[in-house]
Structure formats: C-alpha cells, structure tokens
Amino acid sequence: MVKLLVGLGNPGLQYERTRHNVGFLFLRQLALESGKPWVDESRFQGLLSEYKTPAKTIKLLMPKTFMNLSGQSVGKVARYFKLAPEEILVVHDELDFAVGVAKLKKAGGHAGHNGLKDIIAHLGSNDFYRLRIGIGRPPEGGNVANFVLSNPSQKEFELIESAMQEGRSLIDKLLLEN
C-alpha cells in the first residue's frame, strides 16, 4: 500500500516552472485540492502535506534539497515513518517520454536521473513506484542539464499539465487497488 508520494524538483522560484520540477507541480496541485497546507519539517529536509482520497490519506513530501540530493529527505521520512520502499511513490520528469506522456511503474533503475539515483542509494532499494511525466529531450546536440532546468513553452506546459491529470488518474487507481 502506498503511504507516501514524493515529488522531485529543485527549491527556489527560478526553478518553479522548469521541466525538472514537474514532481513539485504535481504534488502542489494535490495538496491544494485536499485543502492541506505545506509544513516545513527541517528534520526531514522537506515540506510535508497530505492528499485525501475517499479511501485514505497519503503523506506528500517535497524535498527541500536540490534534485541530486533528494534521497536524503526521502530516506529520513522513510526511516521515521517506518516505510518500506514499496510504500513510496516518486513523481518525476522523464526525458525518455514525449512531452505529455505519463506512465506508472514499480521498481527499476534510475536511467541517469540523479534524483532517483540518490533515492535508491538512501533507501538501499529501487523497489518503489514511479510516476514518470514526459518532458521530451532537447534538440540534438542540446545540453540536457540546461534543457531540464529551462521552462517549457506554453504548448509544452499544457501537455505536461495533461500528463499530470493522467498521472493523477493512474495514482488514484493504484491507491484503490492497494
């Protein structure tokens, strides 16, 4: 049973609408709809809130570390609440999917995503769920780091929002099955 949703992103206004912050954008929407405020929990290096579904309430975590150190926060929350990796679902950007594609999966590698790599290291396992939101790839020869840290066009942002809605449906279905 999933008990914690983690959104990956970078803290700071300059990153707020970047491709790399789709995990944060996704969780902010869930907390807003649930009417739950974000609480700054320095002991977890993150912000906590809740997502209320008809069946259960799920904890939400936005690490306050930068993306590449997300595992520090996730690991602290997992240890404190005694969560197994399979009780965690991480929402993140996915370069290997076209803009607007959302897919849910359990376990797997990090595919070069440094946030996932750090979470795997801190949990000692890759056996957690992932909601992958497609952001596409930079044009051939383009710098990946610059691409993920840039803002998508308005059309791309609308596709990402659509993927987040699809992702929400996938998560709700998973939570009903769990």
CATH level 3 topology of 4-177: Rossmann fold (3.40.50)
Q: Under a CB-based contact definition with an 8 Å cutoff, are residues 172 and 102 in contact? A: no
- In angstroms, rounded to a whole number, what is the distance separating the alpha carbons of residues 155 and 146? 19
- In angstroms, rounded to a whole number, what is the distance separating the alpha carbons of residues 18 and 155? 14
pLDDT one-digit tens code per residue, 64-117: 999 999 999 999 999 999 999 999 999 999 999 999 999 999 999 888 889 999
CB neighbours of residue 156 within 10 Å:
15
Sequence length of the chain is 178
pLDDT one-digit tens code per residue, 4-35: 999 999 999 999 999 999 999 999 999 999 99
Catalytic residue check, 20: yes
| Catalytic one of 20, 92, 113, 122 | 20
pLDDT one-digit tens code per residue, 110-152: 888 899 999 999 999 999 999 999 999 998 888 999 999 999 9
